[in-house]
Structures are given as structure tokens and as C-alpha cells.
Amino acid sequence: MIHTMSVYCALWPSHARRILDNLGVSSNKNSFKGAVNVNGIAEVVARSRGKDYGYLLRVIVNPAKLLYGFDAFETVTPETLDDLTVAFARAIKEATGDEEIARTPLPDWLVHRIDFAVDVRTPYVHQYLMLFDKGDKPSNYKEKYNWRKGSCYWESRSVIINVYSKSKQMRDAGKSSESIERAKNILRFEIQCKSPKVGYIRKAKGLEDRRLRNFFCEEYAEEVLTSYCKRVYKSGDYYKRAAASQRMKRLGMSARRREANESIQRAIAQTRSISEARRQLSETGIVIKHTKPQVRLEYSTEQFSRNCRSLIEANINPVVIPKDWEVSYLPSIFHLIEPVFAGHQSIEHDIA
């Protein structure tokens, strides 16, 4: 559930100076940012908060590496927090050369960023990434990578949505062949909650403060992951267009409703994403290719959303599987991650 976290604590100037000296920072400088050669601690940042406000010490922590070693890439559950606290005390002492900082238990450090993630095993990692790339990207998100890079990576001021091939990521990072093989067929779905999102969760849940013990929680991980899953990638399963039409017929959907839903799917396929189809349909309209007589579609954003909901209520994703793919059906990411929260850390996903 938890993949990486950035936690911080306040320091008195004298304490901070001692840590800076241990990190080899010259006496005329009052900050440090960099990697340390300690497994599970990815980065240490020490900086002044301004005159009379002391210092902040921020640490990026990889919990799996702390617990299981350098090659670990698993996510961890809330049940590991006690073991993590012990491992973190050793690691932060080694990283900073300071015994006093290790006396602050990990659960009492404050959260700057926390990454919630789930892993799903599927032989269709590449196909899923291509389908996710056609999802409903909010207008305030920027795309950093797409499926061609082995990742769907969208970023806003408060959140990073990242779905990626774990084996490709490890291969690109130069990991061992054994580690890459262990990551084979793993699709990781990750939501990185930056400081504004952490603040939003704190306010929404009525939390007293940002202490890690408040956020190291399966309930919040599930809420965050499933809400973005439904919002961006939708909860309907993926079908080829003909199969989706047959399903709508079996469900007793009227011919008029089927036609409207199929038009939405064709528009999404042509514009290559839900968000782009919505924009074009509501602003300029779309002429559907290869139609005789020519079909021109125009929808308001409300009509578009209503038709998308109709598809999702029928458990059909607005994004269709391309007709030249061998696979003709794939369950939605929402349905893939449900068993993880039912108690299975990772699931096998094989389709005949």
C-alpha cells in the first residue's frame, strides 16, 4: 500500500549544525541536500527555516528497502510500522551520524509526501498502459511520460498519477537480472500525494496533525487509489467495440442509447483519449472517419458525461480495445485492484 514517503521534523539550530557537520557541510553553509549511502534512505535535506525559526530535516524513505534490503521493491502495509520504526532509527542514525535524531520515533515524523501503490500481476502490462494513455486526464495535469516509455505519468500541483511496468523501470535503473525477473508482469498503480494533497487528506479526515501514524493507513490508501482509478481510468471493463455493442444488447439497452454510447466510444478511439474527445465534441464537434454518409457528432460536456456514465454502469469502459489486438477483453484496473484490498497483496491475472 505504501511505497515511498518524505517525512520531516524540526530541529534547533545547534542540533542542525551538529548534523550538518556530520554530513561534511562547511561551517559557512547552512543547508544540505543529497543522497546518503544508507539503504532505505534515498535523500536527506537539511535547511534553515529562516532566522529564529530553526531548521527542517526532511528524509525520503523507501520502506521496503529498509525492511527487506537493497533489491526490495514491494509496497508495505500498516502492519509493518513497528518494524519500520526500529529499522528507521538505525538508518537515520547512520545517515546523519547523530544519535539524538534517532530518538524521534518514525510514526511521529511529519508527512511531506506519501506514495500509495498497488501491484497487479498481468501478462498484459503493455496493453494496459496503451489503454490508460487514453484515459480521462484532468485539464490541470501535465503528461511527463506515456506508454511508449513504459509509464503513464501525469502530474498536477498536488498529485502524481503513475502507472508503469515495474520490470521496465528496474531494467532502466540497471537492476540485477534476478530482480528484473521478479518484477516481470507487474503493473504498478501509484498515486504520489504531494504536500497539498496531504494537507487536503488531513483536513478531510479531521486529523490533528501530519504525523506519519495518521497517514500510514490502509483505509486512506484504498480511498486515494480507487478514487483516482474511477476518475481517470474508469471502472468499466475493456472490450472491443463489437463486443461492447453485444453486451449493451444483452443488457436490454435501447437502440437509441446504444447508438449514443457507441458514438462516444468511436469519438474517444479517434481522438485517442476521453479528455480530448470531450473537449473536441463540446467545442468544435467531430467528424467520424470512414462513415458514409458522413457522421458528425456534437455533444455538450453534460451529454458526454451522461453517455460515459451509461457505459460504466453497464461495466463497459468508454475506451475500446483496438480491433487488431489478439486480446478481446481486459478487466478494468479498478476490478484488478479490488482483490488487493480484500487481503491479497498481489494477484495473478491470466486470461484465456
246 and 306 housed in the same domain:
yes
Q: Are strands 55-61 and 2-11 parallel, antiparallel or unpaired?
A: antiparallel
Give residue-wise pLDDT tens across range 6-41.
Answer: 999 999 999 999 999 999 998 888 899 998 889 999
pLDDT value at position 350? 34
CA 342 from centre of chain: 19
pLDDT value at position 293? 82
255 and 224 housed in the same domain:
no
Overall average pLDDT of the 326-344 stretch:
84
Residues facing 330 on adjacent strands:
238
pLDDT exceeds 80 at position 5: yes
Number of domains in the chain: 3
- Residue 162: CB atoms within 10 A of its CB come to 21
Contact yes or no for 272/351 (Cβ under 8 A): no
Overall average pLDDT of the 326-349 stretch:
74
Give residue-wise pLDDT tens across range 77-119.
Answer: 999 999 999 999 999 999 999 999 999 999 999 999 999 999 9
* Residue showing cell 523507501: 62
Radius of gyration of the chain (CA): 24
Least confident among 69-78, 203-212, 251-260, 272-281: 69-78
Nearest to 134 by CA among 313, 304, 301, 275: 275
pLDDT value at position 142? 86
325 in any annotated domain: yes
138 and 219 housed in the same domain:
yes
Give residue-wise pLDDT tens across range 207-263.
Answer: 999 999 999 999 999 999 999 999 999 999 999 999 999 999 999 999 999 999 999
Mean pLDDT (the chain) is 91
Domain range for residue 84?
7-108
Contact yes or no for 118/218 (Cβ under 8 A): no
pLDDT value at position 234? 93
Cell numbers found for residue 210 = 501530519
The dihedral region occupied by 194, where left means phi > 0, alpha psi between -120 and 50, and beta the remainder, is: beta
Cell numbers found for residue 155 = 502530474
pLDDT exceeds 60 at position 351: no
CA 297 from centre of chain: 34
The backbone torsions φ and ψ at residue 100, rounded to the nearest 5 degrees and listed phi first, read: -65, -40
Nearest to 184 by CA among 174, 171, 203: 171
313 and 245 housed in the same domain:
yes
Give residue-wise pLDDT tens across range 173-193.
Answer: 888 899 999 999 999 999 999
| pTM listed for this prediction | 0.90
250 and 181 housed in the same domain:
no
pLDDT value at position 128? 95
pLDDT exceeds 80 at position 346: no
Overall average pLDDT of the 339-347 stretch:
57
215 and 276 housed in the same domain:
no
pLDDT value at position 223? 93
pLDDT band at 145 (very low <50, low <70, confident <90, very high): low
310 and 260 housed in the same domain:
yes
